[in-house]
Amino acid sequence: MAGTVEAQGGDTSGAGGAKAANEEPQRITFLGRPALVVTLGTGGGAGAGARSHKRPRHDEAGDEGAQGGIRQVARSMLRAHKLGVLVPLVYHTDVESGRATVEDVAGRPLQALLDDMVAEAEAGSSSGKAAADLDAAAAALGRALALLHDGGQVHGGLGGGSVLLREGDGAVVLTDFRRSFNSIVALDKATDLAGLEAALLAAAKAKAGAQQQQQQQGEQVGEQLQEAAASAPGAAASAEGGGGSGAAAAPAAAATSKPAEIASAFFEKLLNSYRPSSRMWSAVHNKLAEVRARGTSQGGQGASAGAASAGTGSNKKAKTAAAKS
């Protein structure tokens, strides 16, 4: 991940204008604590030139930096923290360069746990450690999101990579607040949840696709080498959900692949925990059905288009929030 670790504060090279926010975070030790230096953008985005007086077009500045820059991210994180949601602590912010030094939380991403679960399921056990951990994580994440949403904040970038499970107690820590903004609108909250579902399913699909490829390659290799006996069971064991050779190809591509099943089950459990913890459930629930329907008809793109159009509705809020900063 990080190349050379530079323990500089980051107040040099603050070039004017947009700062690319796609640099890998540097791992450093900050005052004796493990920390990450992340670049979040200064808040002008790519529109610091000709369009600086206008809101950036929503297809621009895709994943780079936050719309409101480092201020928006830091404020969103503090709001989440005040509500009782676990986020990395912010140790230092450098507004000029758009960099922040934040706590490096020791833990693994949710995606890793989901992958473990897939491995466990394939190995045949359905009530192993990963399953128990996953249930706990779903419940905890549901509660955390309910707290966040009830408090008027939306994460905007939920997925297997931005949810961390803390080492030791497995507590849910939310990271990557680049797209977070404050909103009390049910549609935004629903979009937040639907976005999580879409991200998990997309990851599951990718995993299914990769495993399918692996499996096919494994079969070819097995045929070519005379070790068919050894590698075929090996390939079959590592094949996901689908089991045997050709028969696996079709179901693996469909939404009923093991990773997708697990992701869906996780999301349902999450909703089950979110529902009783949220005071706004009925409003969010209605919108959620809408957003999900919109989303599944176009796959992953639908979810982000939904997010974009929901985003434009709430862009006003994000804009006001950014304007205030």
Partner 1 sequence: MAEPTVLSYDTHPGRTLTAALFKDVKNTKDLRLLLAEGSLPEFAYINARVVLDPFVLQLAGHRALAAEGSTRMATKNIHTELVYGVSATKHVAESLKRFGISDDTTAVLVARFDCKPEELEAVSKRIEGQQVALSELGGLVDLELIDKYFKVSKQELQSRGRLDAVTFRVGAKDCL
Question: Of residues 13, 16, 31, 246, which one binds partner 1 by CB under 8 A?
Answer: 31
Instruction: Specify whether the CB–CB gap between 240 and 249 falls below 8 A.
Output: no
Closest C-alpha among 213, 198, 151 to residue 304: 198
* 94 counts as binding partner 1 under rule CB under 8 A: yes
Minimum distance from residue 247 beta carbon to partner 1 (Å)? 48
* 82 counts as binding partner 1 under rule CB under 8 A: yes
Minimum distance from residue 105 beta carbon to partner 1 (Å)? 12
Question: Of residues 47, 66, 75, 201, which one binds partner 1 by CB under 8 A?
Answer: 75
Question: Of residues 29, 224, 272, 286, which one binds partner 1 by CB under 8 A?
Answer: 29
Closest C-alpha among 320, 315, 322, 324 to residue 57: 315
Question: Of residues 21, 38, 70, 165, which one binds partner 1 by CB under 8 A?
Answer: 70
Minimum distance from residue 171 beta carbon to partner 1 (Å)? 9
Closest C-alpha among 188, 128, 118, 124 to residue 160: 118
Give the β-pairing of 163-166 and 181-182. unpaired
* 321 counts as binding partner 1 under rule CB under 8 A: no
Question: Of residues 26, 67, 93, 175, which one binds partner 1 by CB under 8 A?
Answer: 93
* 273 counts as binding partner 1 under rule CB under 8 A: no
* 277 counts as binding partner 1 under rule CB under 8 A: no
Question: Of residues 19, 71, 179, 205, which one binds partner 1 by CB under 8 A?
Answer: 71
**What CA–CA distance (Å, rounded) separates 234 from 266?**
28
CA angle 29, 32, 33 (to 5 degrees): 65
Question: Of residues 18, 38, 66, 85, which one binds partner 1 by CB under 8 A?
Answer: 85
Cβ distance to partner 1 smaller for residue 83 or 255:
83
**What CA–CA distance (Å, rounded) separates 230 from 245?**
15
By CB under 8 A, which span of 24-32, 133-141, 192-200, 308-316 interacts with partner 1?
24-32
* 9 counts as binding partner 1 under rule CB under 8 A: yes
Q: Which residues pair with 164 in a beta bridge?
A: 109, 173
End-to-end C-alpha distance for the chain, whole angstroms: 32
* 74 counts as binding partner 1 under rule CB under 8 A: yes
> 3-class DSSP state for residue 252?
helix
Element (H, E) at 9: none
Beta strands in 134-231 (DSSP E): 153-154, 163-166, 172-174, 181-182
Instruction: Specify whether the CB–CB gap between 256 and 240 falls below 8 A.
Output: no
Count the residues of the shown chain that bind partner 1, applying the rule CB under 8 A.
33
* 165 counts as binding partner 1 under rule CB under 8 A: no
Query: Given the rule CB under 8 A, which residues bind partner 1?
Result: 7-9, 11, 28-31, 70-71, 73-75, 77-78, 81-86, 89-96, 100-101, 147, 325
